[in-house]
Amino acid sequence: MAAPVRLLVLGTGGMARNHVSEFKKIAGVTVVGGVDTRPAQLTAFCDEHQIANRFASIDEALAWGEFDAVTNVTPDAAHCVTTLPFLAAGKNVLCEKPLATNEADADRMVAAAEAAGVINMVNLSYRNGAALQKAAAMVREGAIGTVRHFEASYLQSWLTQPAWGHWDRESQWLWRLSTKHGSKGVLGDVGIHILDYATFIAGQGVAEVSCRLATFHKAPGDQIGEYPLDANDSATMQLVLDNGALGTVAATRFASGHLNDLRLRIFGDKGGLEVTYESNVSRLRACLEPDLQSATWHEIEAPVLGSIYERFIAAIRGEGAAEPDFARGALLQRLLDRAEQSAAQGGLSLTV
């Protein structure tokens, strides 16, 4: 029988529904409480998911204390301040990405997690992709030789069509376009995913980054109600990896025709890989020796992996690695900070 795990959900917005639904599928996991400062939303959420205990503050939840782990689904800017009290109380934490909104806060979270000795993970959801994991293993095994070049992109079109809802009238989307409301734009929202996607598969850290950001006119006065639409909409980056390999990374919300697609083409001196996640399908293709001369590409089968939610619970139970952890989230935050600093200096290349 699976060891029981009692879970507290912190924040009851849209993503919290995904978290609770996935955790409830895992044997032995019980969602025992919810926390939100908004009484009406907290009540509606807990009623919908049959969650018995409801708390208006973190202090109330900690005073009760009858839980083993927390899934933090608060807005980005709240991740640090809301996670630290749970770490101090010795609770295991899964935090939504990005880990924080600046390097200093991310480092504080890493240090606190290490001091507490608890399981700590960040929800980089595309790590669940079978093709990504297989590609990373192939690179580490030397299948493509030494990595020399790559190109990666995360393409979304939700600013050009309403597949996810009407961004110009629904606040759950509008906040993503406003720095006043905590958004780091496309760079912080989806750029973190494609940076993790590319560098995890490459098996390399980033030595230098150069970045340009663009914010496009979208509404009269570039404001809707209380939301100034000033967060970046598109990002392009050049990266130099630790081994000197060079690559490009792009992220945008203006990729008409692409609802939510990630792509990576990575090349070494012995072969190349193409790793895609498009229309919710994970796919891996490879051109390896002896097919280089004919430039013949083949589909590579990849085993389906457990979700981040399953891996978090397995780590708590001592049945798997806590990966990706807060340390990985902090490394990515450092890269995001340098990219933002580079853009502010006209794309100047900065050491990471």
Residue ranges covered by each domain of the chain: 5-125, 130-304
pLDDT tier, 191 (very low <50, low <70, confident <90, very high otherwise) = very high
By CB neighbour count within 10 A (0-12 exposed, 13-18 middle, 19+ buried), where does 344 fall?
exposed
Whether 232 and 162 have beta carbons less than 8 Å apart is answered as: no
Rounded-to-integer distance, Cα 270 and Cα 3, Å:
46
Phi, psi of 54 (to 5 degrees): -125, 135
Rounded-to-integer distance, Cα 301 and Cα 195, Å:
24
pTM of the complete model: 0.93
Task: Encode pLDDT of 251-280 as tens digits.
Answer: 999 999 999 999 999 999 999 999 999 998
- 92-96 and 120-123: which strand pairing? parallel
Phi, psi of 2 (to 5 degrees): -65, 140
CATH for 130-304, options being 3.30.360.10, 3.40.190.100, 3.10.20.600, 3.40.605.10: 3.30.360.10
- What pLDDT was estimated at residue 59? 98
Place of tokens 């081994």: 243
Least reliable range by pLDDT among 23-32, 161-170, 210-219 = 161-170
Domain spanning 5-125, CATH class: alpha beta
Rounded-to-integer distance, Cα 4 and Cα 204, Å:
37
Neighbours of 240 (CB within 10 A): 18
